[in-house]
């Protein structure tokens, strides 16, 4: 599958934004006004930035509003509706927090649930496709959700630590360390499954297997088409192993190491810097992971080519 | 709504005979010619006379080579078989392209099962093309909307055309008569009978899309009765005539 930057940015950024909303809604993070302003702006900004990025993937963005109509049957439509609902509750929750200096618990839990569901529906857009066997597994929503929670958690740690002038609190490990390791393990299992998936062959795809070994003699067109560029993308597959290492090194190992260094750092300034870079590394890692998610995925139509 | 309708009694579709298709691509050209000026936006081409020409087509023909597993007389060097394989929308009963559509642009007609795109509502997200196991949908690069086979809906019901033309353009044009159009929901129709007689099959039933279009299998090379293969080298030896011919025969008698 062609790894379009607009879609990769969409699921990475909105994943982190909705992940942060999940943590905030559960009552994590400092209650102070400054912290509230910063966390809410970053959560809303990341989620909205991701959603706006996804619009650039459309050939007719002027008709994007129509995507809210088919929630009964379409996961993409459900994703749009859930994102809108999450934003509505997020807006009310944020305003209440900022104006009353109180965090409404019930509304917060609702916001967490909606943000969680939005990430799930995003993942289901890919999971539902029987045509891409790499994606068609319950592990895919688990990967999306765990990376969303880990990136949201690390964003919250970065906000808290920087606002506290470099004071890294022990309890922040709950939303940093554990989700990070969990996400790494889930993705490793996902890759393990992907390595053992059964693909169609030209024989099974044409239904001519009983006649012998089927292989393509002549393509339908001499030059690449939209279809082959979109579905038969094969550029990165040779480099997949190297990219997976980058993804794990940046996405999981680097944030862990930087986090531990920050914990033992001699100066508060250095702690704040290290925590910030562990967030940057984690996001780069998820970008690489999402890029591979598309580039490695083999669409069944590729067996005809 | 992009929910699928109740399965219709009438299931219009194609039956494609892989045994007789000669791979001339006439159906591809005829399809483009009719549909670029028919239903919806034209089928655009990008850079048609340039280095990397590409464009929107609703029907494409692949050519496969099949090396027999067990050859005639178990010889490992049995000749390979060529199969031309036209690929277009199969108008599936459980069309996955329809249910994934977020805008309601993709739909399946309840009266005859034809799968269509309402081009005024399509936002060009491309998800339906991802969901289709058969590569039947292409995003038009000029119009930014999804294009697909309409089963020539503007021909088959068109009373302004002579009756023999009220079939899809690809079927009408096929010089080998490898393409057949009809109601696959009616067991008495000519296409249904053809499928029954010739062991017609659908593509990738394991993707659960329940295609309406059927393919008729090519005969196995080993089933075709033909002359026993003979060494080509003997053809290369010229037959001697005249004095050399007499000498040749005389020498053969002495042998």
B78 domain-assigned: yes
Between positions 204 and 233 of A, the ones with CB within 8 A of B are: 204-208, 210-227, 230-231
Longest CA–CA separation in chain A, Å: 75
Percentage of chain B modeled with pLDDT above 70: 88
**B123 chain-A contacts, CB cut-off 8 A:** 58-64, 66-67
Residue B5 in any domain: the answer is: no
Cβ distance of B69 and A205 shorter than 8 Å: no
Which pair of structure tokens corresponds to residue B168?
A: 């899809």
Distance from CA of A298 to the nearest CA of B (A): 11
CA distance A139 to A115: 19
Residues of A in contact with B2 (CB under 8 A): 70, 73-74
Query: Each residue of B235-246: pLDDT tens digit?
Result: 666 677 788 788
pLDDT confidence tier of residue A185, bands split at 50, 70 and 90: very high
- Asked if A57 has any chain B CB less than 8 Å from its own CB, the reply is yes
The band of A181, judged by pLDDT with boundaries at 50, 70 and 90, is very high
pLDDT of residue B221: 67
Give B201's DSSP letter.
B
Cβ-Cβ contacts under 8 Å between A and B: the total is 191
Residues of A within 8 A of B202 (CB-CB) are 207
**Residue with token string 């709504």:** B1
Query: Which band of pLDDT confidence, cut at 50, 70 and 90, is reported for residue B22?
Result: very high
Distance in angstroms (rounded) separating the CA atoms of residues B41 and B35: 9
- Rounded CA-CA distance B184/B189 in Å is 7
pLDDT, mean of residues A14-39: 94
User: Looking at A30-34, B69-73, B78-82, B230-234, which range is the least confident one?
Assistant: B69-73
User: Could you tell me what percentage of chain B is helix, strand and coil, using 3-state DSSP and rounding each to the nearest 5?
Assistant: 25, 20, 55
CB spacing of A60 vs B124 below 8 angstroms: yes
- Whether B73 is in a domain gets the answer yes
Distance from CA of B90 to the nearest CA of A (A): 13
Per DSSP, helices labelled H in chain A are 5-25, 33-55, 75-100, 105-127, 139-163, 172-195, 202-206, 226-231, 240-248, 254-263, 268-295
Residue A235 pLDDT level (bands cut at 50, 70, 90): low
Among the partner-chain residues B4, B96, B98, the one whose CB lies closest to the CB of A130 is B96
For chain B, the domain total comes to 1
Tens digit of each residue's pLDDT (9 = 90 or more) over A132-141: 999 999 999 9
For residue B73, pLDDT over 60 is answered with: no
The CATH number assigned to the domain holding B34 equals 3.30.70.20
Residue at token pair 């969901």 = B131
Q: Do A202 and B203 touch (CB under 8 A)?
A: no
Looking at the predicted structure, is the pLDDT value of residue A99 above 90? Answer: yes
Q: Which domain holds residue B36?
A: 12-254
Predicted confidence at residue B68, as pLDDT, reads 81
pLDDT at A169: 76
Closest residue in chain A to residue B125, using alpha carbons only: A58
Å between A115 CA and nearest CA of chain B: 20
Residue B161 confidence (pLDDT)? 96
Contact check, Cβ <8 Å, B64/A60: no
CB contact set of A285 (below 8 Å; sequence gap of 6+): A246, A247, A248, A249, A250, A251, A252, A254, A255
Rounded to the nearest integer, the mean pLDDT of chain B is 90
Asked: is A5-57+65-197+224-304 a CATH 1.25.10 domain? The reply is no
pLDDT at A242: 82
**Residue B14 clears pLDDT 90, i.e. is over it:** yes
pLDDT in tens, B116-127: 999 999 999 999
Question: Cβ separation of A227 and B129 shorter than 8 Å?
Answer: yes
Mean pLDDT (whole number) for B133-153: 96
Find, among B229, B209, B226, B193, the residue nearest to B89 by Cα: B209
Q: What is each CA distance from A290 to A4, A187, A259, in whole angstroms?
A: 10, 11, 23
Chain A residue with minimal CA distance to B68? A212
B170, B179 in Cβ contact below 8 A? yes
pLDDT of residue B235: 67
What is the C-alpha separation between A214 and A206, in angstroms, rounded? 9
How is chain A split into domains, by residue range?
5-57+65-197+224-304
Cα→Cα distances A213→A203, A218, A302, B64, B81, Å: 7, 15, 17, 10, 10
For residues B3 and B107, the answer to whether their CB atoms sit within 8 Å is no
- A272-281 residue pLDDT tens: 899 999 999 9
Closest CA to B65 of A142, A18, A214: A214
A50-73: per-residue pLDDT in tens? 999 999 999 999 999 999 999 999
Chain centroid to CA A280: how far? 15
Query: What was the pLDDT predicted at B47?
Result: 93
C-alpha to C-alpha distance for B191 and B169, rounded to whole angstroms = 17
Q: Judge whether B70 lies within some domain.
A: yes
Tokens 């109601």 belong to: B183
Q: Domain for residue B1, yes or no?
A: no
What gap in Å lies between CA B225 and CA A15, rounded to an integer? Answer: 63
Cα atoms in the Cβ-side hemisphere of radius 13 Å centred on B223: 7
Residues B170-224 have pLDDT tens digits of 999 999 999 999 999 999 999 999 999 999 999 999 888 999 999 999 987 665 5
Global ipTM: 0.92
Q: Is the pLDDT of residue A220 over 90?
A: yes
- Give the pLDDT confidence of A100-129 residue by residue, as tens digits: 989 999 999 999 999 999 999 999 999 999
């Amino acid at each position: 599958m062609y790894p379009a930057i607009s879609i990769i940015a969409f699921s990475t950024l909105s994943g982190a934004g909705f992940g942060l909303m999940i943590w905030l809604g559960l009552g994590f993070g400092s209650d102070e006004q400054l912290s509230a302003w910063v966390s809410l702006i970053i959560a809303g900004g990341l989620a909205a930035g991701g959603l706006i990025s996804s619009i650039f993937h459309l050939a007719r963005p002027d008709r994007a509003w129509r995507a809210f109509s088919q929630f009964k049957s379409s996961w993409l439509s459900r994703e749009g509706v859930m994102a809108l609902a999450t934003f509505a509750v997020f807006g009310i929750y944020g305003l209440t927090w900022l104006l009353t200096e109180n965090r409404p618990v019930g509304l917060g839990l609702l916001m967490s649930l909606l943000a969680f569901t939005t990430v799930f529906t995003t993942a289901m857009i890919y999971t539902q496709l029987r045509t891409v066997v790499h994606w068609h597994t319950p592990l895919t929503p688990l990967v999306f959700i765990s990376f969303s929670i880990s990136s949201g958690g690390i964003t919250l740690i970065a906000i808290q630590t920087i606002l506290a002038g470099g004071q890294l609190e022990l309890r922040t490990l709950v939303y940093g360390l554990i989700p990070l390791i969990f996400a790494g393990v889930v993705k490793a299992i996902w890759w393990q499954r992907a390595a053992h998936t059964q693909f169609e062959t030209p024989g099974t795809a044409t239904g001519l297997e009983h006649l012998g070994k089927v292989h393509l003699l002549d393509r339908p067109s001499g030059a690449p088409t939209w279809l082959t560029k979109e579905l038969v993308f094969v550029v990165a597959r040779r480099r997949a192993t190297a990219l997976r290492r980058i993804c794990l090194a940046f996405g999981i190992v680097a944030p862990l190491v930087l986090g531990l260094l920050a914990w033992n750092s001699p100066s508060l300034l250095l702690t704040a810097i290290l925590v910030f870079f562990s967030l940057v590394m984690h996001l780069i890692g998820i970008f690489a992971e999402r890029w591979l998610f598309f580039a490695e995925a083999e669409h069944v139509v590729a067996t005809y080519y | 709504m992009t929910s699928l309708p109740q399965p219709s009694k009438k299931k219009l579709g194609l039956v494609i005979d892989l045994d007789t298709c000669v791979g001339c691509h006439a159906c591809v050209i005829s399809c483009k010619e009719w549909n670029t000026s028919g239903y919806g936006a034209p089928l655009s081409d990008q850079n048609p006379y340039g280095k990397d020409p590409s464009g929107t087509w609703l029907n494409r023909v692949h050519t496969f080579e099949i090396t027999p597993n067990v050859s005639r007389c178990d010889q490992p060097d049995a000749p390979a078989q060529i199969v031309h394989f036209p690929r277009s929308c199969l108008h599936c009963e459980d069309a996955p392209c329809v249910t994934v559509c977020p805008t309601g642009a993709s739909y399946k007609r309840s009266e005859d099962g034809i799968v269509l795109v309402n081009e005024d509502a399509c936002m060009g997200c491309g998800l339906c093309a991802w969901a289709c196991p058969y590569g039947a949908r292409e995003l038009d690069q000029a119009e930014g909307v999804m294009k697909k086979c309409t089963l020539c809906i503007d021909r088959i019901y068109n009373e302004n055309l002579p009756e023999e033309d009220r079939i899809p353009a690809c079927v009408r044009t096929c010089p080998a008569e490898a393409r057949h159009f009809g109601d696959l929901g009616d067991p008495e129709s000519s296409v249904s009978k053809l499928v029954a007689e010739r062991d017609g099959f659908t593509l990738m039933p394991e993707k659960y899309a329940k295609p309406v279009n059927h393919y008729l299998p090519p005969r196995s090379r080993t089933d075709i009765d033909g002359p026993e293969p003979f060494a080509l080298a003997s053809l290369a030896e010229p037959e001697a005539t005249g004095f050399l011919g007499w000498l040749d025969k005389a020498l053969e008698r002495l042998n």
